[in-house]
Structure formats: C-alpha cells, structure tokens
Amino acid sequence: MVIQGLRTFLIGADTKRAHRTVTWVLAIAGAIYLTYAAVSYLDAKSGLPVWLCVPAGVALAAPLVLAVTRPLMAWRVAWIAALATGTAVQVHHRTPFSWHPAVFVALVVLACVVAARHRFAVTAWAWVTLAVLIAVSFYPADRLPLIEIVTVPFAVTAFIGHRRSRSVAGTPPAQLGTPSS
C-alpha cells in the first residue's frame, strides 16, 4: 500500500471533478497575486536577475490554477518550483523565509487539496514531501514548529476528504466511525 501510494504520488493520475466558476476565479486571482509577490520577493532576496525571477514567480503561482483540475500534478510542480527558488534565496541571502509568506501558505493549501482529493497513502506522501520541503528550506529552530503548524490543517483536510470519499462510495454516515472488515 505504501509503495503503491508512492507510485501514485509520483506518477499517478489525478481525480477529475467539475468545478464552479468561483473556484476558477479564486484560483486565477490567487495566482496573479502570488506571481507578483513571488517575483518581488525573489528579486529582493535571491540575487537572481529579474529575467529569471519572473518565470520563477510564475512557476510558484501557476500550481494554484492547475490545482483546480489536477491537484497532484499541481503539488509536484509547486514542490519542484519551491525547492529551486527556495534554494536560490537561501544561497544568496540567508533569510528565515525561503519564499514570500503567501507562497508558503499556497504550498500548504495545495498539499491540503491533495489530502482532500486522494487516498491516505498518497496523502501521506504529500505530507512527507511538505515536511522535507520545510526541513531543507528553513532554519533548524523553525523546522519542527512549522511542520507541526502545517500538520494540523493538513490532517483535518485529510480526515474530511477521507470521510467524504467513504460516504460518496456508499457507506452510510452513521457507520463511518466503525472499523471496516
């Protein structure tokens, strides 16, 4: 189960759902803001030339839009972009934050969307990769508290997503708390 979860996490397909216009508008608005925030933060903190800060900012923000239809793919793109841009910030100008704080919040939101839409084994790998991202991107004293902080919304979202998937699959809500055979 763990290996299959890892395989799905790395190369598996996303679940598809229809989404309302509000979801798209919020995702696009968030991505526009995050692009601006990420570009300005990278320009100030990374030492990268502006012509590299712009595509890096887009790479950090675009997963918000991608998450509307493909949250697992969005998490993969966001994780790689965060690792690359966070490294550039840390190498050039050691700061407590590897990204604009709004980008960090967006990473947590993306991981929560994965937790809400995928099985537990895939969700566990999303949490592990989020913890790894925090571990390599922040000061040692900040790592454990940040992992603890992001674990709370992540676990709540995973629990809600798991309950919803079980109730959609036909399990009556009254039996959701009982162990299955």
Each of the 181 residues of the chain gets a pLDDT tens digit; together they read 667 777 777 777 666 666 678 888 999 999 999 999 999 988 888 888 889 999 999 999 999 999 998 899 999 999 999 988 888 888 877 677 788 888 889 999 999 999 988 888 888 889 999 999 999 888 888 899 999 999 999 999 988 887 776 666 554 444 444 444 3
Q: What is the pLDDT of residue 127?
A: 93
Quickly list DSSP for 99-110. S-HHHHHHHHHH
Q: What is the pLDDT of residue 63?
A: 94
Which is nearest to 166 in space by CA: 128, 120, 114? 120
Q: How far is it, in rounded angstroms, from Cα 20 to Cα 83?
A: 31
Q: What is the pLDDT of residue 1?
A: 65
pTM listed for this prediction: 0.77
Q: What is the pLDDT of residue 24?
A: 87
What is the distance, to the nearest Å, from the Cα of residue 45 to the centroid of all Cα atoms in its chain?
Answer: 22
Which is nearest to 99 in space by CA: 147, 70, 140, 136? 136
